[in-house]
Structure formats: structure tokens, C-alpha cells
A = this chain, B = another copy of it.
Amino acid sequence: MKKSALQVARASYMPKMPKALRGQVIAVEGNATQSVADQDAIKNLFPNTYGLPLIEFQPAKETREYAPIHTGVILSGGQAPGGHNVIAGLFDGLKALHPDSKLYGFLMGPSGLVEHKYMELTADIIEEYRNTGGFDIIGSGRTKLETKEQFDKGLEVLQELNIGALVIIGGDDSNTNACVLAEYYAKIGAGVQVIGCPKTIDGDLKNEQIETSFGFDTACKVYSEVIGNIQRDCNSARKYWHFIKLMGRSASHITLECALQTQPNYVIISEEVEANNLSLDDVITRIAQIVADRAAAGNNFGTVLIPEGLIEFVPAMKALIAELNDFLAENAVEYARIKRSEQRNYIISKLSAKNAAVFASLPHDVARQLTLDRDPHGNVQVSLIETEKLVAEMVGAKLKQWKEDGLYVGKYLAQTHFFGYEGRCAAPSNFDADYCYSLGYNAACLIGEGKTGYMSSISNTTAPASEWKAGGVPITMMMNMERRHGEMKPVIQKALVKLDGAPFKTMAAEREIWAKETLYIYPGPIQYFGPTEVCDQPTKTLQLEQQK
């Protein structure tokens, strides 16, 4: 297999680890914990894994013997840079516990456990994947581990392979399910520990205990690299407005972080749109005003960052989509009979006045998209809407109107971009390489201590890696009860962008001047070999959040 020069050179990078994990460890236990809300309900659902103490590892003074423990590992959900290093750290940690420990990877996500598809991850295989991006070592998948049947089926293969611990690397939902599985295996005395690891480029799995999810750092740096390049182009050609959509449907952390790294002329934060009950027209008007103001100063160019999930955070759009979902589900047959050229007017005539007005205000293509392809649940596929084009086009329409009204003089040419797949499988930054390796190694330590229902936790992450803290957080501690598909479920609270948090407030304090001036920052590509201030810095989000 041919490799690039960088693949070859990067393979030998030794991830930096917290001092506490470098030799044998002892687990220092804190007080009993509580869930973040709904304590009684969560306690009832998790009698065996509720209320466990926080754990912090310290270097051990005395040497201990550990028995070999075979462990399974699963990559769950979307790719995030550093997943391979979690597995490498886990492998090394297990071997440090006992050289006869084995690591098995379940293939293509949680379904590998249920369908008994797996491979042993030997030292040779692990070597090939150190410090690389991607989840291709064992693949990933989106099957949800939720049912007793799945758990029992999984247990068959775990027992067959004599596996005593399972590490699930995933986002908030996958870690919720890891805890449900931990509880179930504890309840039936299956003898299988379950440990979670916090993964997601979206950055929405974080809380008091978990400072950041892995992959966020690298993905944001890749996006910021290309945003910076586009901004330099924008500032050289001085003739385009670039509308750049960034992955992340459920929260705007990526978009906010990239804005902090690159200082675009405007950035939309979905959480702010929702909190202020803004309409799409409000958002468009704001951007058009910035375009007009810059044009008045002779600058017919600029950049706008857009979070992928915007549409679903606009209250009026949410209402429209909900009514469309219901209406089209009930009238699918009749709608299918309407001539293509009549469909638009048909929909407008059937919706409630308020939603009909919103629908009519959308560009034809977007409106049409909302009435087309449905997902398997019959819902509008919001992810297929090209929000970046929608915004660019609506801003253009608004400016055209203003020009006719004599309110705007300028040229408006738009370019659109969407970045997502470009960042999910990049080779991890030093931060993610170190953080992931430590998370995995630390997971092995939790296994060695016999823990279950814990999430591997590395904290103090804005300090040099040697000073990072390592330990475990009971997953139940992060849970509350939320309505999902009509039922109350215990789930890990998703972290949205906080409008009173330091990252948002820092951006908000500067955005007026970003809009007016051209203060682009050009972060450039991730560097692996240079000075530490270039290679080892965590995200602005993390730095601002952890700032005392």
C-alpha cells in the first residue's frame, strides 16, 4: 500500500500523555454523584450505575498485578479525527495491564456486536493506524444499541470471545446507550463492563465534567484552514460574497469556533436565531445590511459562515416544516396527482396563512425541495436543503429590492461552499492525537479498576498534556429526562452554544467590527512538526471556556 510522505513521517509520532497515566495508577474516588436533573427518574432507571463517584487517577506508589482482560471496541456514528488513536491508546493501556489482554474490534459500528462481526486488533494492525484519521480500522455505523434483544445477542459473542469489557466510542446518544447497556449487563450479572468515550466533531457532547469531545479540534482546524484560504481569495479578488456552510446540525459550535479562528464578516449562530425568535427574513435582512454597508465603503465582497442546522432553529421554518410533514403525510396520494407546475400554488393554498406566507417567501427550488424526498419516517429531509444557496439567493433578492428602492448601490456576486466530509477524517491534530490516545489509555485504566457505566475523562486540557487530569465520570451524572419520539427517555444533555458563554460573547463583542472592516485571520493548515504555539494549541472555544 502506497503512503504519502506525511503518512510515513506521522506514524512515528508519540502522543503526549498526562503524567498521571505514565506508570501504574490508583483510582482516587470522590463523593457519590447525582444526575444533572430528574434524579429520581434516572436513579430508578439505573439502579446499578447511578450515584457512582467521580474517579481521578494518580500515579501509584506500589506495583499491582492485573489479570489479562479481553476487551471489545466499537466506533459508533459519524467519523471524527482521532478515533484510531483512542483504539491505539486502549490497546497500549490493556497491554500495560497485562500483555495477554486482547482487543477485539466490532465491525461497522454497533451492528458488528449484534451481528457478531469482529476482528482481533493485533499489534501489527494497530501500528498501521497510529495518528491517522478515519474510522477505517474497523469501520463505523449508526445502528442504535437500544433493545434487550440486541444486548443479549451481543452478549453471546462477548462470552464466546471471553470479553470482559466493552468500549463504545460515540456521541451523546451512543454514550447514553452505552450506559443503558452497562446497566443491563450489571443487572443480569453478565460480567461485562461498559466504558464510553466522548466523540463528535460537532462539539455538542460536553459538560461540567467532559471539557470537549474528540475530533472537534481537528475538524474545526481543517474547516478554518479552507475558510481562511477562501477569505484571502475574497480579499484579493474583491468581487465575491462567499457563503460557507459548516457541518453540525444540532449545535453551532463548529461554526462559532471557525468564526473565532478566521473572523469572517458575519456568522450565523442557530442558537441565537432561536433564542431571539428570528425569522429567516430577519437573518437575511441583517446580512443584506452588512453587504450594503460594505458596498457603500467600496467593498463588494465578504464572507458569511452558516451552521448546517440553521433551518431547524428558525422558529417559523420549524412550524412550516411541521405542518408540511403532517399535510403531506395525510395528502400524499392527492399531492402526487398535482401537475409539477401547479404544486407550488397547491401547497400555498392548503397551508395555514402564516406558514403559507413563509413557504411563498422561499426561493422556488428550496420550497420545492421541502415538498420532495421524504426520509423513511415521512419527514422533510432538511439536510438536503442547500442552506448556503438559500441564504445567498435570498440576500440577493433582498438587495435587488433595495436597489430598486434606491437603498443600495453595489455589485453582488455570491459563491457558496459546504464543508463537512473534508474534516471528519483528517489526520488528528497534535491535540486530538494526544487527547484521543489519553482517552483510550485511560479507558483501559478504568477497565483495570473494574468500572462500568463510566465515560473516560481527560480534563485540564488547556494545560500542557503532561498536566492533564485523567479519570472517569459516571455517565448517569450527565443525564436528564427528555421527550424523544413521544416518550420520556434518559439521555445525556446535548450542549448547545450558550449565549452567555465566553466563546459566543467574545464573538458577539467583535462582530460589528468584523462586519465593517476586513479583519480576516488565515489559520493555514494543521502543522505537526513546528513550534508548539503553532502545533499544540487547543480550540479557541476550549481556551475561552476554560479561562478563569
Which residues of A are interface residues toward B (Cβ below 8 A)? 1-7, 9-10, 78-79, 108, 132-136, 139-140, 222, 225-226, 228-230, 232-238, 242, 261, 263, 340-341, 415, 417, 421-427, 519, 521-531, 533-534, 537
Contacts and interface: CB of A to CB of B under 8 A. Distances in A.
Given A133-B522, A529-B534, 4 more contacts: A136-B232, A136-B236, A139-B238, A232-B426
Contacts of A527: 6, 525, 527-529
A528 to B, nearest CB: 6
Nearest to A424: B233
A217 to B, nearest CB: 14
Contacts of A233: 79, 134, 421, 424-425
B425 A421 contact: no
Contact of A232 (B263, B425, B522, B526): B425
A302 to B, nearest CB: 14
A102 B238 CA distance: 26
Contacts of A3: 521-522
Contacts of A417: 421-422
B136 A235 contact: yes
A78 B5 CA distance: 30
Contacts of A341: 340-341
Stoichiometry, as copies per complex, reads 2
Contacts of A524: 4, 6-7, 10, 426-427
B9 A531 contact: yes
A236 B10 contact: no
B134 A422 contact: no
A135 B236 contact: yes
A448 B237 CA distance: 31
B5 A533 contact: yes
Nearest to A422: B226
A526 B529 contact: no
A426 B529 CA distance: 19
Contacts of A242: 421
A521 B8 CA distance: 11
Contact of A427 (B139, B230, B522): B522
A229 B225 CA distance: 14
A229 B522 contact: no
Contacts of A425: 229-230, 232-233, 236
Most chain B beta-carbon neighbours within 10 Å: one of A521, A522, A529 = A522
Nearest to A224: B4
B5 A534 contact: yes
A5 B234 CA distance: 21
A390 to B, nearest CB: 16
Contacts of A529: 527, 529-531, 534
A316 B424 CA distance: 39
Contacts of A526: 525
A4 B229 CA distance: 13
Given A79-B237, A341-B341, A425-B232, A521 B2 contact: yes
16 contacts: A3-B521, A3-B522, A4-B228, A5-B533, A6-B522, A9-B530, A9-B531, A108-B238, A139-B237, A229-B424, A230-B421, A233-B424, A525-B525, A525-B526, A525-B527, A527-B529
A78 B261 CA distance: 26
Contact of A140 (B236, B519, B525): B236
Contacts of A521: 2-4, 7
B421 A522 contact: no
